[in-house]
Amino acid sequence: MLLIPCPYCGPRPELEFRHAGEAHIARPANPDATAAGAWSEYLYVRSNPKGRHIERWRHASGCNRFFNCVRDTVTDVIEATYPAGEARR
Amino acid sequence: MIVRQRSGTRLRFSFDGKDYTGVAGDTLASALLANGVHLMGRSFKYHRPRGVLGAGAEEPNALVDVAGPDGRSTPNLRATTVELYDGLRATSQNRYPSLRFDLGAVNGLLSPLLGAGFYYKTFMHPRAAWATLYEPLIRRAAGLGEAPRRPDPDHYAQRYAHCETLVVGAGPAGLLAALTAAQSGERVMVVDEQAVLGGSLLAERRATIAGQPAADWLAATLATLAAMPNVQLLPRTTAFGYYQQNLLGLVERVTDHLAAPDPALPRERLWQVRARDVVLATGAIERPLVFAGNDRPGVMLASAARTYCNRYGVAVGRRVVVFTADDSAYAAALDLQAAGVAVVAIVDLRPDPSGPGVVAARAAGLTVMPGTAVIATTGHWRVTGARLSSNTTLACDALLMGGGWTPSVHLFSQSRGTLRFDAARQIYLPGTPAQRQSSVGGANGVFDLASILAPLAVAGDIPAQGGFLGLVPGSRATGFVDYQNDVKAADILQATQEGFRSIEHVKRYTTTGMATDQGKTSNMNALAIAAAALDLPLPEVGLTSFRTPYTPVTFGSIAGAARGALFDPVRKTPIHPWAEAQGAAFEDVGQWKRAWYFQHIGESMHEAVKRECLTVRRAVGLFDASTLGKIEVVGPDAAEFLNRLYTNSWSKLAVGRCRYGLMLTEAGFVLDDGVVGRLAADRFHVTTTSGGAGRVLAHMEDYLQTEFTDLQVWLTSTTEQWAVIAVQGPRARDLLAPLVEGIDLAAMPHMSVREGRIAGVPTRLFQVSFTGELGYEVNVPAGHALAVWEALWAAGAPYDACAYGTEAMHVLRAEKGYIVVGQETDGTVTPEDLGLGWAVGKAKADFVGKRSLAMMDLQATDRPQLVGLLPAHLPQEGAQIVDRADPPIGSAALGHVTSAYDSATLGRPMALALLAGGRRRMGQTVHITTATGTMPATIVAPVFYDQEGARLDA
Ligand SMILES: [Zn+2]
């Protein structure tokens, strides 16, 4: 079980959180003007790396906020967490 | 044989029905050995007689079933770790009818057939025979203990803890680490799987530490630690799993060692400990040597024999031969000799052994035979002789093996640390850790007490040095590598001959290392044999993963209190007690208990549902809809937020009006639906499906927090604040009217909401219908709901009102073709598929899912579409729909039945279905699959009753 540092509440056990997929997948600003291929990519294509990964978590049993988390998918070491909307780390 | 006075209380116990006595402090294994019993089990596959191999958690052979009080039984316990108590009853496993006379031993004669890969090869065809023939046969012939047949009568506790330093293993290395950490004032936890702390020092009778006997140093150190308030010592506690961020799972055995445990105590306690630093002092495990006959009772690890002698005062034989490639076995020989056992010879594989043990052995007059191997044994129930490579046979009643030591890197590996191979010593050692952690002592490959305890002065130690991996030269390959799964050297060789090169494949093909002991004594030999056969350096055949748990953990400890009524929360509405008193049957909807139907005396379920449906259509019914999800959406941008989250348009919805809202995923598929009422320009009362409330709120929060951050909106879950009573039927208005204050019911249109009072209680009153009849949904604060329900129930008496349950609700809504998300939808269904295109605001600039609806696949005209079916009989929900009455095998389905009910209103069965291109096929006949064939059904529009909707606002 991960120990996840919520940027708002501090370190909490994983069972308080819900995973919310890869981070920094921005919704296209003008969906109607987005080509089908690019839209499919937005919906379905994820990087799924072995190693450094930025993902979203929601502190479901806490502040209920979404935030971003830099985690190594091999070692599970969490490098940083930061509020949603901040620049990619 | 007992070699010295065994002090302690005498304890009676039985094994396979025969009575014995042992002493307090014994394990079942040491007590049986003290009584001269070596035969403790039958092997897994060949049913070979087996004795004890080790003296601890690594034991692969001596698995027993221990019966507790009140019919309790625990299978597959290692006799080496079962603490003796007065009255203990143990039985051997995997034998029929008895340990000595076992019919399954005939498997031994079949061993050429049961070798590596036999599961794959022998029983490939025919497949059907698996269930009827092969599996039952294998299950009876090969196996371990029997699962208990009764529910677990014990209870289990769970605890969480934090500390600065967690030390796993209370041997010399662990104790020294604990002492050092504790002296800095930090919180220290020391856990050890054994009943007493001390590890290898418990069997150390030669070495002195700081000038005193090892036992005295141990006692003094334990006393020091026990007296420190910042130190917690946990014996009988196994660290079984090492997880992320230094979280360790521990299981503490609280009562299993007690004859009459206090029933208030839990049987076991599961600890989850988060530590800043972890010290792994998990020691090392001695390896057997692989030679023919290395599994006869009486053949065991040298360190185990030393432990039985020094710690328990039990000699494992009267005439022992020691077969070693490692110095530490000399310590066993010397200690057994000192205890009065005849040590016939020390047979050493190494051509020129020369360590301090060798010197001491020669000085003690022991025969050392260098450059010699034991290549076979004689005996059946017990070893009677060791045949040497020099072609002589040494008579003996115990044969001790010293194959060298394997550091216990299991937890290190679980923690994602990378192992490194020490080619000179042929052992895997902890390499780079992935977490704040260190490995010390034997776990780190440091085997000599002086180095472990430096700077304390140590004398008299005979440390491990040497070792041998693989098949002993000159021996046939019938020697066992994995005792617990009955894997021989020959099986590994066969796997490599058949083309398996990676140990991951060899392991699965031969099952080596896959038993409950996870190959603690066998993995390195298996690797070495495979590597030698493939002519590769050992690390190149790979290393299998070490998985949790280190030793088996009970399900009870993991479940803890989450059993029975506490397994999952049960949610009940405030009206539940009324329904219960009326004798309602309940159904589970998520965590909710919902009234399913209200059966009158003498009625069947079918009759009750029929009566409820007809009463709603004819007069009026009350329905507890409190489980509906509710979200209050508030803020200056609330309408714009809903515009973006729902397909519908909300900007023009007047205050006091409602609309049916449809919510999509970004991929364009229906996620949820529900009625939304506008209470003020900046305030909406949103309802969701009963099961969808949490999902919808998370979906809304996600967009609000991460995509539509320009909007000022606040979301609040109000599901449990508002109870909902649906009043549905032509007399609904008549029933409500006398109870309502401040609302002009007659002026309320369909799809509107008003605030006022009902039965003296504040209400949000919706005029909405999920039945097709004139209907209201009375929202009241949950605390008043039961009183309001009772007032409405009393007011309904003149109209012969009924209470109806979820079954009738489903029939009524299906007659009207109203969908249920999760029943008519499955995550791949668009609004257009459901005929709900009218609810999509196509003129809106954007909403979640809009772009996806324009994707080619979602525009296809042959997509499954919602239709009604008039079938000959009631079909199964989920049944496939096909074109022909006799579809050939392999025919593609055209769709499936999503809902099916016997409709009292129609007087016939009806169904909703998703059918490819269904709307173009009105009036056609299709066939619904049944258990015995198919039944015909006519395709109709998915509204079976009051197509014009005239009754909604009657
Ligand atoms: Zn938080």
Instruction: Kindly report, residue by residue over B714-741, the tens digit of the pLDDT.
Output: 999 999 999 999 999 999 999 999 999 9
Q: Are B416 and A74 an interchain contact pair (Cβ–Cβ within 8 Å)?
A: yes
Q: Using a CB-CB distance cutoff of 8 angstroms, which residues of chain A are in contact with residue B244? A: 1-3, 14, 76
Phi, psi of A2 (to 5 degrees): -65, 155
Nearest to B920 by CA among B869, B861, B848: B861
Lowest mean pLDDT among A5-14, B145-154, B595-604: B145-154
Is B763:B668 a contact under the CB 8 Å cutoff? Answer: no
pLDDT of B681-704, one tens digit each?
999 999 999 989 999 999 999 999
Band (pLDDT 50/70/90 cuts) for residue B148 is: confident
Domain that holds residue A67: 1-6+17-24+50-89
Q: Which residues from chain B sit within 8 angstroms of residue A66, using beta carbons?
A: 701-702, 705-706
Of chain B, the end-to-end C-alpha distance in Å amounts to 96
Q: Do B852 and A66 touch (CB under 8 A)?
A: no
Distance B244 CA to ligand 1 centre (A): 19
What pLDDT, on a 0 to 100 scale, did the predictor assign at position B754? 98
Q: Which member of A75, A84, A85 has the closest CB to residue B416?
A: A75
The 10 Å CB-count burial string (b at 16+, else e) for A21-38 is: eebeeeeeeebeebeeee
pLDDT for B99? 76
pLDDT one-digit tens code per residue, B532-569: 999 999 999 988 788 999 999 999 999 999 999 999 99
* Closest Cβ–Cβ partner in A1, A66, A77 for B702: A66
* A42 falls within a domain: no
Q: Is B806 helix (H, G, I), strand (E, B) or coil?
A: helix
Q: pLDDT at position A80, please?
A: 98
B160, B840, B851: best to mutate for the A interface, most A CBs within 10 A? B851
Q: What pLDDT is attached to residue B878?
A: 97
Distance B210 CA to ligand 1 centre (A): 52
Pairing of strands B10-15, B319-324: unpaired
HEC string of B930-952? CCCCEEEEEEECCCCCCCCCCCC
Count of domains for chain A = 1
A34, part of any domain:
no
Q: Is residue A29 assigned to a domain?
A: no
DSSP3 helix / strand / coil % (chain B, rounded to 5): 25, 30, 45
> Looking up tokens 């052979």, which residue turns up?
B61
Q: Which of A43, A77, A84 sits opposite B705 (nearest CB)?
A: A84
- Ligand 1 mean position to B635 CA, how many Å? 23
Looking at beta carbons, which residues of chain B come within 8 Å of A65?
Answer: 705
> Per the omega criterion (within 30 degrees of 0), is the bond before A83 cis?
no
Q: Above pLDDT 90, what percent of chain B? A: 89
- A77 belongs to a structural domain: yes
The answer to whether residue A35 sits within a structural domain is no
pLDDT digits (tens, 9 = 90+) for B300-341: 999 999 999 999 999 999 999 999 999 999 999 999 999 999
Three-state secondary structure call for residue B346: strand
| B701:A3 CB<8 A | no
What is the mean predicted confidence (pLDDT) over B30-40? 96
Distance B29 CA to ligand 1 centre (A): 52
Model confidence at B495: pLDDT above 60:
yes
pLDDT reading at B132 higher than 90: no
Beta carbons of A34 and B247 less than 8 Å apart: no
- Tell me if A12 is assigned to some domain: no
Q: How many Å lie between the centroid of ligand 1 and the Cα of residue A1?
A: 17
- CB-nearest to A65 from B243, B274, B705 is B705
Which residue is closest to B417 within chain A, CA to CA?
A75
Which residue in A has a C-alpha nearest to residue B272's C-alpha? A1
State yes or no: pLDDT of B954 exceeds 80. Answer: no
Which residue of A lies nearest to B857 if distances are taken between CA atoms?
Answer: A36
Is residue B397 predicted with pLDDT exceeding 80?
yes
pLDDT in tens, A38-74: 999 999 999 999 999 999 999 999 999 999 999 999 9
pLDDT at B451 over 80: yes
Any idea which residue has 């209370």 for tokens?
A: B170
Asked if the model's pLDDT at residue B140 lies above 80, the reply is no
The pLDDT of residue B121 is 61
Q: B243 to each of A60, B177, B263, how far by Cα in Å? A: 22, 21, 32
The predicted structure's pLDDT at residue B114: 67
Closest CA to B703 of B601, B824, B848, B525: B848
Q: What mean pLDDT, rounded, does chain B reach? A: 94
pTM for the structure as a whole: 0.90
Question: Cβ A39–B852 below 8 Å, yes or no?
Answer: yes
CB spacing of A3 vs B244 below 8 angstroms? yes
Burial pattern B594-617, b for ≥16 Cβ within 10 A else e, equals bbbbbbeeeeeeeebbbbbbebbb
> How far is ligand 1, taken at its centre, from the CA of residue A79, in Å?
17
pLDDT tens readout for residues B155-175: 999 999 999 999 999 999 999
DSSP states of B102-117: BGGGHHHHTTTTSSTT
Q: Are B846 and A1 an interchain contact pair (Cβ–Cβ within 8 Å)?
A: no
Query: Domains plus CATH for chain B?
Result: 1-146 (3.10.20.440), 154-287+405-464 (3.50.50.60), 299-355+374-403 (3.50.50.60), 468-545 (1.10.10.1100), 576-626+724-746+771-776+784-813 (3.30.1360.120), 629-717 (3.30.70.1400), 853-954 (2.40.30.110)
Cα(B120) to centroid of ligand 1, in Å? Answer: 51
pLDDT at residue number B45: 84
Give domain status of residue A2, yes or no: yes
CA-angle at B577, arms to B574 and B582, nearest 5°: 130
Q: Enter the tokens of residue B7.
A: 């002090």
Q: Does A86 map to a domain?
A: yes
Task: Give the CATH number of the domain where residue A56 resides.
Answer: 3.30.2270.10
Looking at residue B131, the DSSP 8-state letter turns out to be I
The first and second tokens of residue B84, run together, are 């003796």
- Residue B725 near residue B789, CB atoms below 8 Å: yes
Residues of A in contact with B710 (CB under 8 A): none
ipTM field: 0.98
Closest chain A C-alpha to B808 CA, distance in angstroms: 35
Average pLDDT of the segment spanning B877-900: 95
| pLDDT the model gives residue B133 | 62
User: Is the pLDDT reported for residue B117 higher than 90?
Assistant: no
Distance A10 CA to ligand 1 centre (A): 7
Residue B126 has pLDDT above 60, yes or no: no
Question: Which pLDDT value is given to residue B68?
Answer: 79
